[in-house]
Amino acid sequence: MFSMVLFSCKDKPKQDTADDRKYVLPDSMLKTLHLDTVRLRPNVDAVTLTGVVDFNQDNMVHIYPLVSGNLQGIKVMLGDYVHAGDVLGTIKSTDVAGMSSSLVNAQANLSVTKRALDAAKSMFQSGLNAQTDVVSAEGDFKQAQAELARVKQVMQINGAGSGVNSIIKAPISGFVVEKNVTNNTYIRSDNGNPMFTISDLKNVWVMANVYESSITKVRKGDRAEVTTLSYPDRVFNGSVSEVMNVLDPQSKVMKVKIALPNTDYALKPQMFTTVNIIQNEGGQSLAVPASALIFNDSQYYVLVYKSPSDIRITPVTISGTTANYTYIKSGLQQGDVLIASQALMIFQELNG
- Mean pLDDT (the chain, rounded): 83
pLDDT of the residue at 224: 92
Instruction: Mark whether 214 and 275 lie in a shared domain.
Output: yes
Phi-psi label, residue 282: left if phi above 0, alpha if psi -120 to 50, beta otherwise? left
Per DSSP, the chain holds a count of helices (H) and strands (E) of: 6, 20
**Cα distance between residue 191 and residue 179, in whole Å:** 14
* Overall residue count recorded for the chain in this entry: 352
What domain range is 335 assigned to?
22-41+284-351
Instruction: Mark whether 34 and 146 lie in a shared domain.
Output: no
Overall number of domains in the chain = 4
Q: What is the mean pLDDT of residues 302-327?
A: 88
pLDDT of the residue at 156: 65
Inter-helix orientation angle 94-125/131-157, to 10°:
160
Q: How far is CA 18 from CA 21, 23, 61, 305, 351, in A?
A: 5, 10, 69, 19, 14
Q: Would residue 4 count as lying in a domain?
A: no
Instruction: Mark whether 171 and 124 lie in a shared domain.
Output: no
Instruction: Mark whether 256 and 183 lie in a shared domain.
Output: no
Instruction: Mark whether 342 and 270 lie in a shared domain.
Output: no
The model's pLDDT over 101-122, given as tens digits with 9 standing for 90+, comes to 666 777 787 888 888 888 878 8
End residue of a domain, out of 221, 250, 282: 282
Q: Would residue 9 count as lying in a domain?
A: no
How far is residue 126 CA from its own chain's centroid?
A: 73
Q: Would residue 258 count as lying in a domain?
A: yes
Amino acid (1-letter code) at residue 352: G
Q: How far is CA 227 from CA 30, 124, 207, in A?
A: 28, 82, 13
Q: Would residue 5 count as lying in a domain?
A: no
Neighbours of 306 (CB within 10 A): 10
Q: Would residue 6 count as lying in a domain?
A: no
- Highest mean pLDDT, choosing among 24-33, 74-83, 84-93: 74-83
Instruction: Mark whether 120 and 173 lie in a shared domain.
Output: no
Model pTM above 0.85: no
Q: Which residues of 308-343 are buried (b: 16+ CB within 10 A; e: fewer)?
A: eeebeeeebebebbbbbbbbbeebbeeebebbbbbb
pLDDT of the residue at 160: 57
C-alpha angle 85-90-94 in degrees, rounded to nearest 5: 130
The model's pLDDT over 21-44, given as tens digits with 9 standing for 90+, comes to 578 888 888 888 899 999 998 887
The model's pLDDT over 219-253, given as tens digits with 9 standing for 90+, comes to 999 999 999 999 988 999 999 999 998 998 888 89
The model's pLDDT over 135-191, given as tens digits with 9 standing for 90+, comes to 888 888 888 788 777 767 766 655 555 556 778 889 999 999 999 999 988 888 787
Instruction: Mark whether 31 and 82 lie in a shared domain.
Output: no
Q: Would residue 339 count as lying in a domain?
A: yes
Greater confidence (62 vs 9) lies with: 62
Instruction: Mark whether 204 and 268 lie in a shared domain.
Output: yes
pLDDT of the residue at 112: 82
Q: How far is CA 350 from CA 45, 86, 108, 276, in A?
A: 34, 60, 92, 33
CATH code of the domain covering residue 301: 2.40.420.20
pLDDT of the residue at 274: 93
Instruction: Mark whether 249 and 139 lie in a shared domain.
Output: no
Q: What is the mean pLDDT of residues 41-63?
A: 89
Instruction: Mark whether 295 and 310 lie in a shared domain.
Output: yes
